[in-house]
Homo-oligomer: A and B are copies of this chain.
Amino acid sequence: MKSGGNGISKRQRAKMKLRRRSKIGVAPGTIHTDPNAEQTAIRVMCYSPQAVHEQAVTRVAEIAPLLDKWAVVWIDVSGLGTATSISQLGDLLQLHPLALEDVVNVHQRAKVDVFLDHLFIVARASNPGEGYNTEQISFFLKAGVLITFQERVGDSWDPVRERIRSGRANLRSGGVDYLAYALLDSVIDSYFPIVDSIGDQLDQYDEELSQSDPQTQFHGLHEVRHKLLSLRRAIRPHRDMVNELVRDDLQLIKLETRVFLRDCFDHVIQLLDLVDTYRELTADLREFQMSMVSNRMNEIMKVLTVISTIFMPLSFIVGLYGMNFDTRSPWNMPELTWRYGYPFALSLLVATVCGMLYFFHRKRWF
């Protein structure tokens, strides 16, 4: 069970490292797709307050005619394995090559890059089933067009799509920036269940620690600290990123949307606050555990010392009367020939034990 847990965590941890697949010194802006990346699939969703149109796209060229017809065009790209599709999209929508390079190099921290006529936003979504692993989600925000890039097919955006289709809430009338907010918000909120589950785990450790053997949870606490370290590393850059979207005077983000982004910012702060609190809590738990271990050591040593201190003098006394001195001399252990020599020796032993017990009592060991 435990080794299995460690095995999994090790695999996940391997993802924490940032790997620069592009060779050092090559031209920036080159798109190097990862050979293991999933095949690219493109799905376009266009809407105006009145209507919605959804379409799976196989060739990038199919997108061009949609761009002017609809108020909002959301091009959702899943899988980053097909370099041609991605660079064609970049050409069609005139996306900056440096940003496109970052899209496929999926080890970016969350950030906003402001280009002349578009914003490039990187966020990282948690993958609840995989622990440490986070997925890079890239957004390009242009007037009327939002392009999103996800590492894998399958996401947590179906509720947003449903809201667009149903026309409820103000998503349909909200513009492309409001759509970006709605998607970003659900990316950030995806961390809450993970952080909550860590909180539950810590509660359980705390309770177990107060009741049972302190030695069983070292591995668990170490794993949790590791997880919190990864989470903080993933979440923290979102703070600056969302803050930049709220504060900076960016034309592409309307004033009304900023109120919502501020709410999103509050969520990031809440997450970071929780992660930091839990990290301090694990440190406290570890210290508590170490003091329990020290206490236990003291207890073990007390048992050893009590036993030794009682039985060593006893063994000495019985050894004394085991000496083979010639008892014919009256100076040589006359007790051995006494009629009540043995009862006398037993009394001596009992007196020694009592004396030792009194000594320990005075030392408050009992």
Contacts and interface: CB of A to CB of B under 8 A. Distances in A.
Interface of A: 3, 6, 10, 13-14, 16-20, 23-30, 96, 98, 102, 107-109, 111, 113, 115, 156-160, 163, 168-171, 182, 185-186, 189-190, 192, 195-196, 199-200, 203, 206-207, 210-211, 213, 215, 218-219, 222, 225-226, 229, 233, 259-260, 262-263, 266, 269-270, 273-274, 277, 280-281, 284, 286-298, 300-305, 307-309, 311-316, 318-327, 329, 331-333, 335-343, 345, 363-364
A186 B163 CA distance: 43
Given A321-B325, A341-B329, A26 B163 contact: yes
A186 B25 contact: yes
- Taken together, the copies of this chain in the complex come to 5
Top 3 nearest A-B pairs by Cβ distance?
Answer: A25-B159, A27-B169, A318-B319
B323 A225 contact: no
B314 A273 contact: no
Contacts of A199: 16-17
Contacts of A290: 291, 294
Contacts of A14: 203
Contact of A203 (B10, B30, B109, B300): B10
A136 to B, nearest CB: 13
Given A305-B307, A331-B342, 17 more contacts: A10-B206, A18-B192, A24-B190, A25-B185, A25-B189, A26-B159, A30-B169, A115-B259, A218-B295, A226-B281, A296-B298, A297-B297, A303-B305, A311-B313, A319-B319, A325-B341, A332-B342
Looking at chain A's contact residues, the main secondary structure is helix
A98 to B, nearest CB: 5
Nearest to A269: B109
Among A107, A203, A281, A320, the one with the most B-chain Cβ atoms within 10 Å of its Cβ is A320
A9 B311 CA distance: 44
Given A26-B163, A288-B218, A332-B342, A324 B322 contact: yes
Given A229-B284, A270-B18, A312-B315, A297 B298 contact: yes
